[in-house]
Structure 1
């Protein structure tokens, strides 16, 4: 694969760490536009629970890949890869610096390393429909056992409760004849873009305090009402779009299977803290060449980020490259 000369800025890190503010500040400083990489923020109506950036918070900076899916639409990493590549290409054509914010696991890997895990060649509606029918009649345990037997590495990374990823892995293997895990390896892959990867972190106790406070703020902003509306739209079905943290915890409560509202909120906080820990571990283990910044001292972090981005742009200029 040929590395593309045009630059890409990536801002990662755990939930509630402060990625939005950094992305806005860098976009204003360098004339950039922001591409959302958080899968749940693709969906219309998933606003409060995903921490989706508001118009006021955008401060006039253009944002892309937000609110373009209905809650009953499926979406996978190969589709995001194609979308993001087009958005980045468009930014470069207009002389604009693309800034990718967030990035759900394989979605980010697929874009940065151009993984060949998806595309039309790995989709087959008939196979997918058959797998969905088997999931309904035979259950996830049977399908997961098949994945475990055929591709133990993929099975170790896909929770049995994540039906969307379980079905996708089995679909890809049936269509391509290859292990799903073989299609997501990038240890020897070259990054597709000239990339500056920035990741924010905070002391663990501070991060967890921010997560707990953020969940309480979401509840105060009307999270329960947002989820109730989605519950009605989905007719009680736990669609893939609402299986994210902040939404799925409400389902038993809304279905009448539990009555303790505070327990729902506590579960969201706990699951968010656990997710933040997994995000940090994943980023450190999977994304090469990351510059880690301490978000607890924001002004210093912003200065460091600004310097790193400027260094990348200066190197581009020395090579005769442009946006």
Structure 2
């Protein structure tokens, strides 16, 4: 059965840990195709600041769900779930192995787990977003704490707080009640990358400085007329928010780089917290000299193949 329908392999972990490279190695070894689960790599033109692999860097391996949205469009977990599962089914139908790769925790769960999505209402959402713009995130966060303390303790970004309030208003149920048990919708293997925190901090700082040298500010400038400011998802992306202020003359390159490094470290810490809470993740050290071999052994054990 495994030969007819290869299981889903997910490579997860914090930003900067080497997920993309490991996914490439596994795809080459097991005849796989990659499915992107980084919500910011959905956006066309957001290349440097998201560390998106170039076509050449993908080494001929198909990558699905990259460059599928304009910066004006909003990424949704429900929409991603449908697209990711369609991509996975197509890969499996070709007899190849789907390799989900990314650090957006809820998106990974949406692709892998039995997960119900409550409906949405554009009018309610627009009203809540207007309240967010007028009153600020702390006011909405306090309201959420009264309605859904579990979600309030877990959600800290504006988009998710608004979504949780919308769900509560529409359904009368706390958003947290829609979070599933950890049950895969089909056989899957999650491989997580972790390692020394000081090493990660060095990696992240170096990556941000390389993005600056590669022209992140120019990329932001190109995206402004395409609607970067108007895109509620895209304009909050790490780096883009900070470098928009440079574009507007409100900050310097050095200040924006430093702020991006701090924000990226904080984001990486939240990613690790999210994935560490899932006992199904098999953790590997990103500094392992034979990381690809260790990951291949896990995949082989899962599918009964020889690496």
Check whether TM > 0.5: yes
Aligned equivalents of 2:170, 2:192: Cα separation in 1: 35
User: Is the CA contact (8 Å cut-off) linking 1:38 and 1:103 kept in structure 2?
Assistant: yes
Give the stretch that moved more between structures: 27-36 or 270-279: 270-279
Q: How many residues align?
A: 301
Q: Does 1:16 align with 2:16?
A: yes
Aligned equivalents of 1:137, 1:314: Cα separation in 2: 56
User: Is the CA contact (8 Å cut-off) linking 2:13 and 2:194 kept in structure 1?
Assistant: yes
Q: Secondary structure at the match of 1:61?
A: coil
2:120 matched residue in structure 1: 123
1:309 matched residue in structure 2: 299
Q: Secondary structure at the match of 1:46?
A: coil
Q: Does 1:265 align with 2:246?
A: no
2:175 matched residue in structure 1: 180
User: Is the CA contact (8 Å cut-off) linking 1:8 and 1:99 kept in structure 2?
Assistant: yes
> How big is the shift at 1:279?
1.4
CA RMSD of aligned residues (A): 1.9
Q: Secondary structure at the match of 2:225?
A: helix
| Structure 2, gaps ≥5 residues long | none
User: Is the CA contact (8 Å cut-off) linking 2:168 and 2:175 kept in structure 1?
Assistant: yes
- Taking the TM superposition and a 5 Å limit, the aligned residue runs for 1:81-92 are 81-92=81-92
- Please, which of 241, 257, 266 is the counterpart of residue 274 of structure 1? 266
Give the stretch that moved more between structures: 266-275 or 231-240: 231-240
2:242 matched residue in structure 1: 249
- Taking the TM superposition and a 5 Å limit, the aligned residue runs for 1:60-71 are 60-71=60-71
1:291 matched residue in structure 2: 282
Aligned equivalents of 2:115, 2:258: Cα separation in 1: 37
User: Is the CA contact (8 Å cut-off) linking 1:48 and 1:226 kept in structure 2?
Assistant: yes
Aligned equivalents of 1:263, 1:142: Cα separation in 2: 29
Q: Does 1:7 align with 2:4?
A: no
User: Is the CA contact (8 Å cut-off) linking 1:6 and 1:193 kept in structure 2?
Assistant: no
Q: Secondary structure at the match of 1:51?
A: coil
Q: Does 1:154 align with 2:151?
A: yes
Give the stretch that moved more between structures: 131-140 or 306-315: 131-140
- Please, which of 176, 186, 194 is the counterpart of residue 193 of structure 1? 186
Aligned equivalents of 2:69, 2:228: Cα separation in 1: 18
